[in-house]
Amino acid sequence: MSGSTPEGAQSEEDLAAAWGAETDAADGTAVDGQAGDGTAVQPARVLNQAEIDSLLGFDDGPSDGENRTGMQRIISSGLVSYERLPMLEIVFDRLVRIMSTSLRNFTSDNVEVGIDNILSLRFGDYLNSIPLPAMLAVFKAEEWDNYGLMVVDSALIYSIVDVLLGGRRGTAAMRIEGRPYTTIERTLVERLIHVVLADLSVSFDPLCPVTFRFERLEVNPRFATISRLSNAAVLARLRIDMEDRGGRLELLLPYATLEPVRELLLQQFMGEKFGRDSIWETHLAEELWNTEIDLDVVLDEQVMRLSDIMALQPGSRIVLNAQIGATVQLRCGGTTLFEAKIGKRQNRMAVRIEREVPRITNFDR
């Protein structure tokens, strides 16, 4: 047996030796810049301040979507793109206008509702960011068979209680922190939640009919978990002002809840109604009226054996039992449209339409 070592094994031994030398150098076994075998050890590379600032994203340069640093990419990896559901923004805008009217009737006060922002985030991140104390209402979308979350902050809770119980205007609502909410406060907030959920159902009506039903009221975010913590959700932050009182109300809808209507939410808002463009509808209708179709006159139908059909030759005659004055059918494709009578006009066979045949659809069967 030869004592030579294959090239592959020799290269692996060299790599192992180099790795061992670097490890010894990191452990402080190298003395005076030399490893144990006498070879020179390269000093560890130290990042300068500019490289550290660039890594952490503290540089003064632009930081757009294409020039983000590594740390910024890691931080933003938990965010979710919201642009893929543009119609949802229109639904929330409609909700604001409807809530402004319904809350004025509910509180008998001047109420203004506005949207602070609409964003997408992970459900777990949102639960950890809810400012407590607050009330968390879990509601269910009946037609979609899934859940949503509504959060009423402490300021809005005390403002609603103060307004509904006849508090005087011009004085801020009294806030007593550090105690559980009373039964009266929970009951009044539930009435507010029912009003908002009814308005949310009306906001979705032009898109699709859906009923949001109130399930339960929680004060601990751990008991309001309606989705996996890593799932994405859409959050709408609403601001409700009642002169010098008010607060914030947040609506959270997981993407799993919106999945049954995702195709509708992908539409662009064009025209007077959701997802419709009256200009294109008119243009399409005009072109359909100018479409050319073939209309066939069925003079006769006969049942023949396959052997008779195979025996037909050029010159064979098929006698049709249609006579002058007989009733025939006019068809387009396989659909019967009219009944007509056979006649002659200028030595040519012609038909005269007598009546329209009612068409049977699949819903009528």
Task: Give the percent of the chain with pLDDT over 90.
Answer: 17
Q: Is 203 within 8 Å of 254 (Cβ atoms)?
A: no
Residue 137 has pLDDT above 90, yes or no: yes
CA distance 277 to 275: 7
- Please give the pLDDT value at position 308: 87
H helical segments located in the chain: 7-26, 49-56, 70-76, 86-107, 123-129, 154-164, 183-204, 255-258, 262-265, 278-289, 306-310
Sign of the alpha-carbon dihedral angle for 233, 192, 209, 91: negative
Please, what CATH class does the domain formed by 296-356 belong to? mainly beta
The answer to whether residue 3 scores a pLDDT higher than 50 is no
CA distance 22 to 241: 65
Assign residue 170 a region: left if phi > 0, alpha if psi is -120 to 50, beta otherwise?
left
Instruction: Retrieve residue 86's tokens.
Output: 């543009």
| pLDDT value, residue 357 | 84
Any idea what DSSP says for residue 37?
Answer: T
pLDDT mean over 30-59 = 61
Helix (H, G, I), strand (E, B) or coil at 113: strand
Instruction: Kindly tell me if the per-residue pLDDT of 348 is higher than 70.
Output: yes
> Does residue 136 carry a pLDDT above 90?
yes
Report how far residue 232's alpha carbon sits from residue 222's, in angstroms, rounded to the nearest whole number.
17
Answer whether residue 30 shows pLDDT above 90.
no
- The reply to whether domains 86-265 and 296-356 share a CATH topology is no
Query: Does a cis peptide bond (omega within 30 degrees of 0) precede residue 133?
Result: yes
20 Cβ contact partners less than 8 Å away, ≥ 6 residues apart:
none
The phi and psi torsions of 323 (rounded to 5 degrees) equal -120, 170
Q: Write the pLDDT tens digit of every residue in 262-315.
A: 888 877 754 445 555 667 788 888 888 888 888 888 888 888 899 988 988 898
Average pLDDT for 79-107: 81
**How do the domains of the chain map onto residue ranges?**
86-265, 296-356
| Alpha carbon distance 16, 37 (integer Å) | 14
Rounded-to-integer distance, Cα 314 and Cα 128, Å = 86
What band does 335 get if pLDDT is binned at 50, 70 and 90?
A: confident
Which pLDDT does position 78 carry in this prediction?
52
Query: Which tokens in the block code for residue 88?
Result: 């949802």
Highest mean pLDDT among 60-64, 249-253, 338-342, 359-363: 249-253
Cα distances (angstroms) measured from residue 105 to each of 100, 164, 192, 203, 332 = 9, 11, 11, 18, 58
Arch. (CATH architecture) of 86-265: 3-Layer(aba) Sandwich (3.40)
Q: Which segment of 40-54, 251-265, 340-354 scores lowest on mean pLDDT?
A: 40-54
Q: Return the closest-CA partner of residue 118 out of 200, 236, 203.
A: 236
